[in-house]
Amino acid sequence: MSDVPIDTSASTDAISTDTGEEPPADADDGEDGGDGGDAIDPVPDAAIHDSAPAVRVRGLTKRFGDDPPVLADFDLTLNAGETTVLMGPNGTGKTVLLACLTGGLRPTAGTVEVFGHSPEAVRSDLVFALQDGFAVDDLSGRENAEFYTALHPAATDRWETVADRLRLDGLDRRVADYSGGMVRKLELALTLSVDVPLYVLDEPTAELDPTAVERFHAMLDDLADAGRTVVMSSHSPRDLRAANRLVVVADSGVVADGHPDDLREAVPPVVVLDRADTDLGGHLRGPRLFDTDTGFRGFLSAEADPSVVDTRPEVVRVERPTPPDVFNYYVHLRG
């Protein structure tokens, strides 16, 4: 079997993977033997590579040509067994970061370690599903599975079970005739059936219907139970249900990092106003109001008493933060 992982970065034009550098010679073939059945075996100790963090990024800078760096002096550590969701505004470099973690892109500066090694050295211990997709249009779903399962040394024949769990029909139709969501289901089936310690998923739920999202989350729970590490980007707060860590990325780097519930709890109550020019004195945190469909929204300052602010005539209401409020708070007020 070939030593090439299902690393879709080579089959997409979303990001350049041409680093012009050879992978190191100490590549570990890392076979950890999928069983092809429904259950996921606990990750073997050997695959944890001496208990090093699953991912350790230090001082990562990634620049394309003369453009300003997409990532600058970026640090992140992911512990083995965690399920981490990366969130952040469009264009902040989440895909670039994930590509650097997998060896698809080479950092301009800084280091990336996966289980204590360079990503290239442990390619067989990870699988990467890029947002832009890797299914081959001219092949059927089944033919794609045959093609890709021959490429990754840790591929298993579980892909059909996963496809079934995601309710993917039409495995014998050409992928060119699939809907966007069907393509995504096929790619998730191919990715999640690879038996590796680390799964790197770029916006895996972007085109899935709510039922498929729920089933995908249940599979993430299975991976977590089996000790696998998952890192995925997402714009959907629903995906936090399956995560035990949320990392919010803004232009300045990581602006929030913790359990999703803890980060949500730490966001102050929201003051909803009709007018952007309302002066609430020191009752608002920061100068900024967010213009939304439900009015102008700001965050209560630490000193303000919600019940007092709520009675002010210019205040529509004081309420608990919604998921977009949580995002605005960390990205735009704290970022």
Ligand X SMILES: Nc1ncnc2c1ncn2[C@@H]1O[C@H](COP(=O)(O)OP(=O)(O)OP(=O)(O)O)[C@@H](O)[C@H]1O
Contact 319, 270 (CB under 8 A): yes
Spatial strand order of the sheet with 253-258 comes to 126-129, 198-202, 229-233, 83-87, 245-250, 253-258
Closest CA relative to residue 332, chosen from 292, 286, 275: 286
Contact 66, 55 (CB under 8 A): no
Quick one: which of 5, 93, 260, 321 contacts ligand X (CB under 6 A)? Answer: 93
User: Which range touches ligand X (CB under 6 A), out of 72-80, 90-98, 108-116, 278-286?
Assistant: 90-98
- How far apart are the C-alpha atoms of 200 and 82, rounded to whole Å? 12
Contact 272, 324 (CB under 8 A): no
Smaller CB separation from ligand X, 92 or 102: 92
Smallest distance, ligand X to C-beta of residue 232, A = 12
Size of the residue set binding ligand X (CB under 6 A): 12
Smallest distance, ligand X to C-beta of residue 269, A = 28
**Which parts of 96-115 interact with ligand X (CB under 6 A)?**
96
- How far apart are the C-alpha atoms of 252 and 203, rounded to whole Å? 21
- List, in sequence order, every beta strand (DSSP E) within the chain: 55-62, 71-78, 83-87, 109-114, 126-129, 198-202, 229-233, 245-250, 253-258, 270-273, 290-292, 295-299, 315-319
Contact 316, 274 (CB under 8 A): yes
Smaller CB separation from ligand X, 2 or 90: 90
Contact 6, 134 (CB under 8 A): yes
Smallest distance, ligand X to C-beta of residue 62, A = 8
Smaller CB separation from ligand X, 6 or 70: 70
90 binds ligand X (CB under 6 A): yes
16 binds ligand X (CB under 6 A): yes
User: Which range touches ligand X (CB under 6 A), out of 91-99, 238-246, 272-280, 295-303?
Assistant: 91-99
30 binds ligand X (CB under 6 A): no
42 binds ligand X (CB under 6 A): no
Smaller CB separation from ligand X, 119 or 268: 119
Task: Tell me, residue by residue from 65 to 84, as one string, x for binding to ligand X by CB under 6 A and - for no binding.
Answer: -----x--------------
Beta strand 83-87 with 245-250 is parallel
Contact 230, 259 (CB under 8 A): no
232 binds ligand X (CB under 6 A): no
10 binds ligand X (CB under 6 A): no
Smaller CB separation from ligand X, 18 or 172: 18
Residue whose token pair is 């012009």 = 20
Closest CA relative to residue 199, chosen from 130, 149, 132, 128: 128
92 binds ligand X (CB under 6 A): yes
Quick one: which of 49, 94, 123, 245 contacts ligand X (CB under 6 A)? Answer: 94
64 binds ligand X (CB under 6 A): yes
91 binds ligand X (CB under 6 A): yes
In the complex, the residues that contact ligand X under the rule CB under 6 A are 15-16, 64, 70, 88, 90-96
